[in-house]
Structure 1
């Protein structure tokens, strides 16, 4: 089982952290710090996995990682996971990010954290691997993007409708030029009313 997935830069600044077991914020930060210290002192020529002792939950956990330019991609797993399988999974994750963001960099992880978490959830859920086929993952991501765009269009429809009404509404200046049909003179006194109604005296 995958215990945690971490991404941090060469200075130990976390860019993504996903724990599949509940830990307090302090414990999570401690795990990130200790993991970084373990990896920062390793040479790039070393293998990409190591035993950590009792880093998480007091149980033996293996760290499987890849170092790309300024970022470490780290999977903390138990003994049931294959190190080589996890290395391939990290490669799928990174290539998917690269396809999605077109040459992914650290800033993409900072400014698009929601999308990065969505991509990760297509690959791993609840500590279990869901999908390793990158084309399938990209298909799901594209479908999600289309859905988000359509929802954004529905949300913006009322705003566009109001703008259209405003554009078609006549201005005050135009209202002053509208000619209205003349209305008959309305009697203002009882005498004028008698004159206007010739049969008035006959009936009353």
Structure 2
């Protein structure tokens, strides 16, 4: 099970975070800080897995962003690493070459992709095509609702 997901830059600014286990706000801040310190202090030559408390930190760096999933120590690290890769690929398709500014200014879409990808800390959908189809359907529905609202306002 994935306990939480973080995305942060090299300056320790969190750009995306989602917790699937129950933590108090103080515990969330402490866990986030500890995980960021663990990841940022590692050399790029080391592997992408770190034991932390009773969990395993699995991370991948893409440009200036670190994508981190904290999982049970019994979970397969390579599957988690592949999940991170797939999540970033879908973000790349949705945003057209993902960058930190996309996560800052369009964080709703990033969370939408994450919610289509993971559900309660488990992989919900592994197919990139299905995730993109669901996102396109949601955006199409949102646009049609906006058009209907505008039409209602103008033609009452």
Q: What secondary structure, in the 3-state scheme, does the structure 1 residue paired with 2:69 have? A: strand
TM (norm. structure 2) is 0.96
1:85-124 matches, cutoff 5 A:
85-124=79-118
Q: What secondary structure, in the 3-state scheme, does the structure 1 residue paired with 2:6 have? A: strand
Q: Number of paired residues?
A: 156
How far did residue 161 of structure 1 move? 2.5
10-19 or 150-159: which moved more?
150-159
| 2:68 aligned to which of 74, 77, 80 | 74
1:47 and 2:41 matched: no
Gaps of 5+ in 2: none
Counterpart CA distance in 2 for 1:2 and 1:146 is: 30
| 1:131 aligned to which of 119, 125, 128 | 125
How far did residue 158 of structure 1 move? 2.7
Q: Which residue of 2 aligns with 1:18?
A: 18
Name the structure, 1 or 2, with higher relative contact order (CA <8 Å, separation 6+). Answer: 2
TM (norm. structure 1) is 0.74
Gaps of 5+ in 1: 55-59, 163-204
Counterpart CA distance in 2 for 1:12 and 1:107 is: 15
Q: Which has the larger radius of gyration?
A: 1
How far did residue 111 of structure 1 move? 1.2
Name the structure where strand makes up a greater proportion of residues: 2
Counterpart CA distance in 2 for 1:128 and 1:37 is: 25
Counterpart CA distance in 2 for 1:160 and 1:44 is: 58
Counterpart CA distance in 1 for 2:111 and 2:30 is: 21
Q: Which residue of 2 aligns with 1:6?
A: 6
Q: Which residue of 1 aligns with 2:144?
A: 150
Counterpart CA distance in 2 for 1:83 and 1:21 is: 19
Counterpart CA distance in 1 for 2:149 and 2:49 is: 47
